[in-house]
Structure 1
Amino acid sequence: MTPEQIVRAFFKEVRSARNLDYADTLMAEQVLAHQVVSEEEVTVNRTPSEYADHVREMIQAYGEFSLEIQELIVQGDKVYVRWRQEGLHIGEVDGYAPTHRPVIEIASAVYRVEHGRIAEYWIQIDRLGIEKQLERNKS
């Protein structure tokens, strides 16, 4: 599969929570996850199993969410994806009690594919936008 096909399959099956076991096929044994939060970058080493657990946490917080790829650009072994995720706030998130109201996440990441698997990614999420929605929803 091409890097684009791998990342599209990752979003369709794993990131969407449709088939979390497929993470073992699409992700390297250890994936460097660079999480860009404002001016501070944190790198986490994740296994496919840990990533699947991360998606399960999203389901606990936002229920069965929708996920739409809004843009995808490929350059060599790197694939840029911007997406929109929408769910209902059904679990505690950052100290905010469930409101059962919609929460929208806008995010993007660049995925690097090596030997047919995702080996590394750089992700940016509009965390302030999510926090503002959670704050607004609680009133």
Structure 2
Amino acid sequence: MILDVTSNKEIVKAFLTEVRSGKTPDNANLYLAETVLAHQVNAENETTVKRTPENYADHVREFLTQYGDYSFQITELLAEGDKVYARWKQTGHHLTNLDGYAPTGKPLIEIASAVYRVQNGKIVEYWIQIDRFGFEQQLKQHAGK
């Protein structure tokens, strides 16, 4: 069986551009399976969260509350077989209490990457890593700590 890698890559690109970007969170159902395993990859406590299109859309709306209308730029997109790697830069503003830091309104940048597994035209699983140290440093700097 030959996999259409371009198709998987285009599915992930469209998902990131439309949904993760905050433009149309309610379109999550077009790209996500009914249940998606979301592996939160970090050194101290790897966890897996089960996501549905509905709660993923809520998750993106939470970003909009926290960061306002943020910009979202895909900086890398590679595909092989059923997996697509994406790296992005999200730039918004500190509008709510985050990790114990009061809102400052100042710019916040998130650099993150994920590997998405696509099956039958839908994302069924992903592994995500976020530069949490860099994000924390920005919060500290804005707070004057």
Name the TM-score, length of structure 1 as normaliser: 0.97
Offset of residue 94 of structure 1: 1.2
Within 5 Å, which residues of 2 pair with 1:17-28? 17-28=22-33
* From 37, 56, 61, the counterpart of 1:51: 56
* From 117, 128, 131, the counterpart of 2:133: 128
Match of 2:103, SS state, is coil
Name the TM-score, length of structure 2 as normaliser: 0.93
Q: How many percent identity over aligned positions?
A: 57
* From 80, 85, 89, the counterpart of 1:84: 89
> Structure 1 regions of 5+ residues with no counterpart?
none
Q: Deviations over 1:50-106 (max 9, x none)?
A: 111111111111111101011111001100001111001011111111001011101
Higher strand share: 1
* From 77, 90, 103, the counterpart of 1:98: 103
> Which protein has the larger Cα radius of gyration, Structure 1 or Structure 2?
2
- After TM superposition, what 4+ stretches of structure 1 lie above 6 angstroms from structure 2? none
Q: For 1:38 and 1:102, locate their aligned partners in 2 and report how far apart those are by CA, in whole Å.
A: 27
Coordinate RMSD, CA, aligned: 1.0
Offset of residue 39 of structure 1: 4.2
Q: For 2:100 and 2:44, locate their aligned partners in 1 and report how far apart those are by CA, in whole Å.
A: 23
* From 8, 13, 25, the counterpart of 2:13: 8
Q: Deviations over 1:19-45 (max 9, x none)?
A: 111101110000000001124310000
